[in-house]
């Protein structure tokens, strides 16, 4: 058994697709568009085969992420501490918000936490 994909609602579908393609080397399928339901989506595939579905629907409102019940973040393994450091620096220099790190967490992870263009949390891990 494995998780096939995870999905997230977004406001700017194209900006989010471009972000994940540029920073995480994701490959996108062609946009799916259901005009009757006013729904659009892309599946973004990581090198590992994991997939992220980004979805937009005109009547879905953005809610602020924080202390709430539900999904908290996505963790992306970059393979080494050096890669975590380099990606953290690159994203910070490109004006993405750095929330924490890089650091060793209490449970032993080496990580940093950044926000994607819409404020969703991404843990960059080894």
Tens digit of each residue's pLDDT (9 = 90 or more) over 89-103:
999 999 999 999 999
pLDDT band at 62 (very low <50, low <70, confident <90, very high): low
Task: Tell which residue, 12, 125, 4, has the closest CA to residue 74.
Answer: 125
Start and end residues for every CATH 3.10.180.10 domain found in the chain: 1-59, 72-126
Q: Which region among 48-62, 73-87, 94-108 has the lowest average model confidence (pLDDT)?
A: 48-62
Domain 1-59, CATH number (from 3.40.50.300, 3.10.180.10, 3.20.20.70, 3.40.50.720): 3.10.180.10
Q: Just give the CATH number of 72-126.
A: 3.10.180.10
Q: Is the pLDDT of residue 69 over 70?
A: no
How far separated are the first and last CA of the chain, in Å rounded? Answer: 23
pLDDT band at 65 (very low <50, low <70, confident <90, very high): low
pTM: 0.89
């Amino acid at each position: 058994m494995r998780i096939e994909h995870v999905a997230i609602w977004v406001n700017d579908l194209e900006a989010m697709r471009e972000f994940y393609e540029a920073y995480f080397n994701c490959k996108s399928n062609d946009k799916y568009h259901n005009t009757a339901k006013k729904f659009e989506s892309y599946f973004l595939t990581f090198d590992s085969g994991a997939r992220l579905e980004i979805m937009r629907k005109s009547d879905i409102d953005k809610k602020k992420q924080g202390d709430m019940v539900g999904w908290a973040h996505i963790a992306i393994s970059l393979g080494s501490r050096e890669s975590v450091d380099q990606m953290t620096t690159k994203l910070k220099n490109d004006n993405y918000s750095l929330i924490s790190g890089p650091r060793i967490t209490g449970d032993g992870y080496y990580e940093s936490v950044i926000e994607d263009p819409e404020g969703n949390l991404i843990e960059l891990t080894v």
